[in-house]
Structure 1
Amino acid sequence: MSASLLKSSGVVGAMTLLSRVLGFARDVLFATAFGAGAAMDAFLIALKIPNFGRRMFAEGAFSQAFVPVFTETRTTGSHDDARALVAVTMGTLAGVLSLITLIGCLAAPLLMWLFAPGFGADPAKHALGTELLRWTFPYLMFISLTAMSAGVLNSYGQFAIPAFTPVILNICLIAAAFIDAGSVHLLAYAVFAAGVLQFAFQLPSLWRLRLLPRPRWGWRDARVRRIVRLMIPVMIGSSVAQLSLLLDSALASFLGDGAVSWLYYADRLMEFPLGVFSIAIGTVILPALSAQHALRSPAAFSQTLDWALRVLLLIGLPAALGLVLFAGPLVASLFGHGAFDERDVRMTTYALWAYGAGFIGFSLVKILVPGFYARQETRVPMRYAIIALCCGMVISVTVFICAKSFDLPAAHAGLAAATASSAWINAGLLFRRLRRDGAYRPAPGWGVFALRLVLANLALGASLLALAGPLDGWLESSLDDRALRLAGTIGLCALAYFVVLALTGLRPHHFRRAGAA
C-alpha cells in the first residue's frame, strides 16, 4: 500500500509541479505587466472570490464529503450503483451551482464591497473589480463540477488527469497576458474560458470508465442528502484558511495600493510547495483511508497516516526553511523586474517570512483532515477550524488596529502571520484528537527519523545562509544572473540536504513499507 501511495503521490506531485511552474510563469508576467497597482489589486480580488468558493466548496467541502461516500458505494456496491450516484450528484450539483452563479453575478457590487471594503474609497477601483467579478464568478460552477469528476477518477486510482487539469487555467491566463499585456479585462475572460475547458477535459476519462450518465436532479436521493449532511460541517471547516486569507485581503484593502498584491505574491510562493507536496499527499490518501475505514482496517488506516506524515516532514521541513531563509532572493528573482519595483520586493518578502513560518501548519492540516473525513467524521474538524479561525481573526484585527494607530510600514506581514498562527492552532487540535481517538498511532522509528531530519535541515539552513547573501546584491544583479544564482543555490542546498540524509542511513525503501524507520 505504501509503495502504491508513494507512486500516486509522485504522479500528483509531478502534475501539480507542472501546474505550479506555469503558475509562476503566469505570476511573473503579472508582476512585470501590472506590478502591484490598483488594477492588479482589483483583478486579484475578483479572482479570489470564486477561488474562495472553489477551495471551500469544490475542493474542500464537496470533495471531502463526496469521495468517502462514492468510495464506499464503489467498494461495497456494483458499478451501476456508482454510476447512479454520479448521475444524481452531478445533476443536483449543477442545478444548485447555476442558481448560485446567477446570484453571484447579480450581487457582484455587494460581494466586492464585502471582500474588499477598502475599495469603497476609490469608486473607479470598486467599479473595475465589480466588472471583472461578473466574468470570473462563473468559474466556481465549472470548477466545482471539475472537482466532482476528479473525485470519481481519484477513487479509481486515476490521479494524472485531475492533477493536470489546473494547468489549463495557467495556460489560459498566460495566453491572455501575451495577447494584451496590460488588460485585466482579458485576464477575467480567460478565467471564464478556463473553467469551461477544465470541466470538459475530465469528461473523456469518465466516459472510458462508463461513469458519464445523463445528469438528473436528485435532491431527495438518500445518498445526495448524506453528502450534503457531510458537506455542511466540512464546508465550515475547509473555509478556515480561506477565510483567514480573505480577511487579510479585506484588511489589506485599507492599507493602500499594493498590499493586496504583496500578500498574493507571497501566498503564491508558499502555495507552490504546499500544492506540489502537501495537497498531493492529502489527495492521494483520502481514497485509501476511506477504503480502509470501509473495510474496517484500523491498523492500515494508522499506517497510511504515519506514512503521509513522514513524507510530508521529509519534504515540507526543508521547503519551510527555504521560504523563510531564502525569501528575499526568491521574490527578487521571480518577481523583481518590470513594474514590480524594489519596494514591492521587500514588502512581499516580509509577507513570505510570515507565510513560511506557517507552512508546516498549513501542510499538516491537509494531511490530518482526511483522517477525519475518511471516517465521515466532519463535525470535529469543523469545530477545531472555527476555534483556529477565531484566534486568527483576533490576531489579524489586533495587528490592523496597531498598524493604523502607529502607522507601521509592513502591517500586511502581520496579517500573514495571523493566518499562519491559525493554521498551527488547527493542526495541533486535529493531531491531538486523532491520537486521542486511537485513529493514529505512530509507528516505530520516529526518534531516529526525527534525528535524521534535524541534522539534514541544519545542513540545509547553514548552506542557505552562506549562499544567499544580502538582498541588495540580488536586487542589483541582472535577471539572468539572479536566475543562475537562484538555481545554483537551490541545487547545492538540496544536494547538502539529501547527502546528509543518505549519510545518516535514510533510504527510499523506508517509505515503501509501512512503519519503517
Structure 2
Amino acid sequence: MSLTRNFLSVGGLTLVSRIFGFVRDALMAAVLGISPVSDAFNAAFRFPNLFRRLFAEGAFNTAFVPMFSGALETQGPDGAKELASRIMSWLVAVILVVTILVEIFAPQIMVAFVPGFVGDAEKFDLTVFLTRIMFPYLACMSLMAAYAAILNSMGRFFAAAFAPIVLNIVNIGALIPLAILTLEAPDTAFWVAIATMLGGIAQLALVWWAIRRAGMVPRIRLPRFDADVRRFWLLAVPAIIAGGITQINIFVGTIIASGANEVMSIIYNADRLYQLPLGIIGIAIGTVLLPDLSRHLSAGRDVEARQSQSYGLFLSMFLSMPAAGALIAMALPVVRVLFERGAFGAIDSVNVSQALIAFAAGLPAFVLIRVLQPGFFSRKDTKTPTWFAAISLVINILLSLALFGPLKHVGIALATSIAAWVNVALLATFLARRGHFTISAAEWKQQGLILALTLVMSGALWGTVLLLGPVFDPGYFFPAQALAMLALCVVGAGLYFALAHLTRLQPLGGLLRRLQRRR
C-alpha cells in the first residue's frame, strides 16, 4: 500500500477518533467546567500520559520500529517475533516497577508535579486519589503502543488507529449519564477516571486481538540481556532522554500552570483542540513514515527513502498550514460551539481560544518534528534529536517563566510553539548537512504557494466570521451556531483545495492516482 493510502487510512481513523474525542471533551467540559476539580482531573490524567509518551510512544517505538522492520526484511516473521518477545519482556518489567512505585509514593510525587496544589488540601488529595486510579492506564497504553508498533511495521495500521475510538466511546458512555445526573464534582471526576481505565483495557484488548490474528503475539518472559537487547537499550536510552526532555517541557508547564487557578484546565482544553489536526496529520505521517523509511534503508533503497521523506514534508505542510490558519481565524467560534455549555462559560471560551491561537501558531512545527525525526530514527541515530530536544527544553522553560507573568495561559502555549520551531530548524539543518534531506527550488516554491493559499483562506474565514457576527455570540441558538461552524469548515476547505487545484499545487487527479497506487 502506498504512503498516501497508509497516511489517509491512519489519518481518517484518527479523524473519527478525534471527533468522538470532541464529543467526550464537550461532555467533560459540561460536567466539570473550568474548576479546581477539572484541574485535579487533568493533572491526574496528564501524569500517566507523560510516562506513556516516554516509555511506549517515545523510547520504545523510536528504538524498536527500525530494529523490528529490519528483522522483518532480513530474518522473516519468526525472527522478528522472537526479537519482539525479548524486547517487550523488558518493557513490561519497567512499566510494572514504575506503576508499583507510583501507587506507593503518589503523594510525594504529586508534590513535585503540581506544587501549586499543595496549598489546597482538598484539591491536592483529589489529584492524588485520581492519579492512583488512572496510573495503571499506563500499563494498558504501553502494551497497546508496543503491539501497535509491531502491526505498523507489518503495514497493518487499522487496529492501532481504531483503538482510540474505543476509549472515547467508553468515556462518552460514562459521561452521558453524568451530564444528566447532578452529582458532586469530585464524584463525577471519580467515575470519569474509572471510565478512562476501562477504556484503556478495551483498547488493549482490540489491538491484542489484531496482533493475535496476525500471528505475531510476543511471548512475555523473564527479561534476559543479550546482544539484541543491548543494541535496543543503546538506541532506547538516548530516546528516553529525548522523550524525557520533551516530557519535562510538559512537566514544567504543569508546574507553572498549577500556580494559578484554572490555567491547567484552560491549557488542557486548548491542547485538545489543536491535537485534532496534529493527530490526523503529524502523528499519522510519523506513524507511517518511520517504518517506511526503515524498510527502505534496511534494503539499501536510499532514493526511495528520500522520496518518502520529501513527500511526507509536502503532505504535512499542505495540510497543517491551512489547519493552523483556520484555527487562528476561527478560534473563538470553535471553542464556543464545542465547549460553551453547562459549567463552561463565555469567559472560559475567550481564555481557551487565546491559548488555542498561540498553540496553532506552532502547529506546523509540531507536525514537521514528526516528519523530520524519522530521518534520524530510521538510521538508528537517537542521540542527535536528544540534543535538539534539550535545547528546545531550555528555550521552553525560559520563555514559559518569562511569559507566564504577563500573558498567563497564552505565555505557556506561546513558549511551547516557539520551542517547537527551534527544534524544527535544528532537525532540518542537521539532516541537510548530512545529505539526508534537501529541498529543491521547486519544493521551496511549493511551500511558498502553500503559505499564500493559507493566507487567502484564513482571510476569507476571518471575514466570514465577522459577517456572521451575532451567530457566534454567547447564548445564541446552538443548532444555528453548529450549522454556521460546519458551513465555515466546508467553505474554507473547499476554497483551499480549489485554489490548490487551480494553481497546480496539488491537482485532484494526481491525488486520486496516489490513492489508487498500491505501492
**Distance 1:509-1:53 versus aligned 2 partners, 3 A rule:** farther
**Aligned amino acid, residue 108 of structure 2:** L
Structure 2 counterpart of 1:360: 364
**Distance 1:94-1:302 versus aligned 2 partners, 3 A rule:** same
SS at match of 2:118: helix
Structure 2 counterpart of 1:186: 191
**Aligned amino acid, residue 507 of structure 1:** P
Q: How does 1:23-34 map to 2 (within 5 A)?
A: 23-34=21-32
The alignment status of 1:484 with 2:491, answered yes or no, reads no
Question: Which whole-Å CA distance do the structure 2 matches of 1:315 and 1:213 have between them?
Answer: 36
Uncovered stretches (5+) of structure 2, i.e. residues with no partner: 180-184, 515-519
**Aligned amino acid, residue 280 of structure 2:** V
Question: Which whole-Å CA distance do the structure 2 matches of 1:204 and 1:75 have between them?
Answer: 24
The alignment status of 1:507 with 2:507, answered yes or no, reads yes
The alignment status of 1:237 with 2:242, answered yes or no, reads yes
SS at match of 1:78: helix
Question: Which whole-Å CA distance do the structure 1 matches of 2:456 and 2:414 have between them?
Answer: 26
8 A Cα contact 1:145 1:199, kept in partner? yes
Q: TM-score, normalised by structure 1?
A: 0.94
The alignment status of 1:96 with 2:94, answered yes or no, reads yes
Question: Which whole-Å CA distance do the structure 1 matches of 2:98 and 2:442 have between them?
Answer: 50
Question: Which whole-Å CA distance do the structure 2 matches of 1:449 and 1:372 have between them?
Answer: 24
Residue 45 (structure 1) aligned to one of 43, 46, 50 = 43
Q: How does 1:116-265 map to 2 (within 5 A)?
A: 116-181=114-179, 182=185, 183-256=188-261, 258-265=262-269
**Aligned amino acid, residue 465 of structure 2:** A
The alignment status of 1:4 with 2:2, answered yes or no, reads yes
Q: Quote how far apart the aligned CAs of 1:432 are.
A: 0.5
Q: Quote how far apart the aligned CAs of 1:7 are.
A: 0.2
8 A Cα contact 1:459 1:500, kept in partner? no
- 337-346 or 450-459, which deviates more: 450-459
Question: Which whole-Å CA distance do the structure 1 matches of 2:402 and 2:321 have between them?
Answer: 29
Q: How does 1:279-298 map to 2 (within 5 A)?
A: 279-298=283-302
Structure 2 counterpart of 1:19: 17
Q: TM-score, normalised by structure 2?
A: 0.93
Q: How does 1:442-461 map to 2 (within 5 A)?
A: 442-443=439-440, 445-461=442-458
Structure 2 counterpart of 1:111: 109
1:325-369 Cα distance to aligned partner (Å, 9 max, x none) = 211111111111111111101111111111011111111111111
SS at match of 1:77: helix
8 A Cα contact 2:72 2:80, kept in partner? yes
8 A Cα contact 1:218 1:224, kept in partner? no
Question: Which whole-Å CA distance do the structure 1 matches of 2:110 and 2:63 have between them?
Answer: 29
Question: Which whole-Å CA distance do the structure 1 matches of 2:18 and 2:296 have between them?
Answer: 31
Question: Which whole-Å CA distance do the structure 2 matches of 1:392 and 1:34 have between them?
Answer: 29
**Aligned amino acid, residue 190 of structure 2:** H
**Aligned amino acid, residue 346 of structure 2:** E
1:470-505 Cα distance to aligned partner (Å, 9 max, x none) = 877513322112101101111111111111111112
Question: Which whole-Å CA distance do the structure 2 matches of 1:111 and 1:479 have between them?
Answer: 43
The alignment status of 1:310 with 2:299, answered yes or no, reads no
8 A Cα contact 2:245 2:389, kept in partner? yes
- 179-188 or 49-58, which deviates more: 179-188
Question: Which whole-Å CA distance do the structure 2 matches of 1:79 and 1:113 have between them?
Answer: 46
**Aligned amino acid, residue 478 of structure 1:** F
Q: Quote how far apart the aligned CAs of 1:22 are.
A: 0.7
Q: Quote how far apart the aligned CAs of 1:201 are.
A: 1.1
Structure 2 counterpart of 1:396: 400
SS at match of 2:473: helix
Q: Quote how far apart the aligned CAs of 1:101 are.
A: 0.6
- 120-129 or 88-97, which deviates more: 88-97
Q: Quote how far apart the aligned CAs of 1:240 are.
A: 4.1
Q: Quote how far apart the aligned CAs of 1:510 are.
A: 4.7
8 A Cα contact 1:244 1:393, kept in partner? yes
Q: Quote how far apart the aligned CAs of 1:444 are.
A: 6.2
Q: Quote how far apart the aligned CAs of 1:462 are.
A: 2.0
SS at match of 1:107: helix
Structure 1 counterpart of 2:382: 378
- 364-373 or 499-508, which deviates more: 499-508
Q: Quote how far apart the aligned CAs of 1:61 are.
A: 1.2
Uncovered stretches (5+) of structure 1, i.e. residues with no partner: none
Question: Which whole-Å CA distance do the structure 2 matches of 1:436 and 1:361 have between them?
Answer: 20
**Distance 1:451-1:248 versus aligned 2 partners, 3 A rule:** closer
1:437-483 Cα distance to aligned partner (Å, 9 max, x none) = 11112356314423432342232022112111287751332211210
**Aligned amino acid, residue 449 of structure 2:** R
Structure 1 counterpart of 2:339: 335
**Aligned amino acid, residue 253 of structure 1:** S
**Distance 1:94-1:447 versus aligned 2 partners, 3 A rule:** closer
Q: How does 1:408-419 map to 2 (within 5 A)?
A: 408=406, 410-419=407-416
Question: Which whole-Å CA distance do the structure 2 matches of 1:459 and 1:94 have between them?
Answer: 50
Question: Which whole-Å CA distance do the structure 2 matches of 1:28 and 1:216 have between them?
Answer: 42
**Distance 1:433-1:213 versus aligned 2 partners, 3 A rule:** closer
**Distance 1:325-1:226 versus aligned 2 partners, 3 A rule:** same
- 181-190 or 441-450, which deviates more: 441-450
Question: Which whole-Å CA distance do the structure 1 matches of 2:15 and 2:368 have between them?
Answer: 19
8 A Cα contact 2:148 2:207, kept in partner? yes
In the alignment of these two chains, the number of paired residues is 503
Question: Which whole-Å CA distance do the structure 2 matches of 1:77 and 1:471 have between them?
Answer: 63
1:133-172 Cα distance to aligned partner (Å, 9 max, x none) = 0011111111111111001101110001011111122122
The alignment status of 1:463 with 2:460, answered yes or no, reads yes
**Distance 1:337-1:247 versus aligned 2 partners, 3 A rule:** same
SS at match of 2:300: coil
